[in-house]
Amino acid sequence: MRVSLFIACFNDTLFPGTGRAVVNVLERLGHEVDFPMAQTCCGQMHYNTGYQREAVPMVRHFVETFGDAEAVVSPSPSCVGMVHELYPKAAALAEDERLARDVAALIPRVHEFTTFLVHVLGVEDLGAYFPHRVTFHPTCHSLRTLRIGDAPQRLLRKVRGLDLVELPDKEECCGFGGTFSVKNADTSIAMLSDKVRCVLGTEAEYCVAADNSCLMHIGGALHRERTGVRPLHIAEILECRDGDPSPAPGFVAAAEVIRDIDGSERP
């Protein structure tokens, strides 16, 4: 199958290792992966902050860029959720029947990474090896928008050497929510503190999720408190094989990027 990678802004900017992992996993399974260079932001940030009409051109652009794809796969449930849940509303807002038809035709071919593996390709055992204690945060868009169920956990349970430990109150939001964490900082920090307490209670080495936006939020607290617990996208675990070097810890990599940009040392 020819798969088009929709990388999403967070991953493209801060977590390139996640995109590489997705490509490696899909190519190992025998699929051809292409990366449409014209892709941009899906428009979620604009739409969710009240700029619905301003997001419509990005909806059109996404449809133009991926409209002919056999399958579109993304390691970002929040952005896939934007396509599935809000693109039809954006098309209706624009009163554009052709755009609405194109969106409706494209949505069934736009998939979140783990559900694509489990429910489209029918694969759970990828031959991965990751000998570490791991806990999984399911993220709000995975649970409440896409309803991806236990696809990520089914994949993790097949990873040799991996000790998957249940995260207490796993369905509770981490407090990120895009601009929510900016507009409601105190509430966001309180929610994040609860999430970090639960993660630490598992004694896991890695906190794993299918969405780097939440991992960046959680990872920031884990890093600042010097817990030693690393955030990591699930794709980077599924990519690992016996004998591979340890994956680059996503948050630390992102912190290095930020430091390089502004020249300051972050705690």
pLDDT band at residue 248, thresholds of 50, 70 and 90? low
Query: What's the farthest any 2 CA atoms get from each other in the chain?
Result: 55
Nearest of 163, 88, 171 to residue 131 by alpha carbon: 163
Cα–Cα distances in angstroms (integers) from residue 56 to residues 4, 48, 52, 146, 258, in the given order: 22, 12, 7, 21, 30
Looking at per-residue confidence, does 237 or 176 come out higher? 237
Rounded to an integer, the average pLDDT of 232-254 is: 74
Residue type, 178: G
pLDDT band at residue 260, thresholds of 50, 70 and 90? very low
Whether the model clears a pTM of 0.95, i.e. scores above it, the answer is no
Length of the chain: 267
Among 20-24, 125-129, 246-250, the range scoring the smallest mean pLDDT is 246-250
Q: How high does pLDDT run on average in the chain?
A: 90
Per-residue pLDDT, 111: 97
112 Ramachandran zone, left/alpha/beta (phi>0; psi -120 to 50): beta
pLDDT band at residue 12, thresholds of 50, 70 and 90? very high
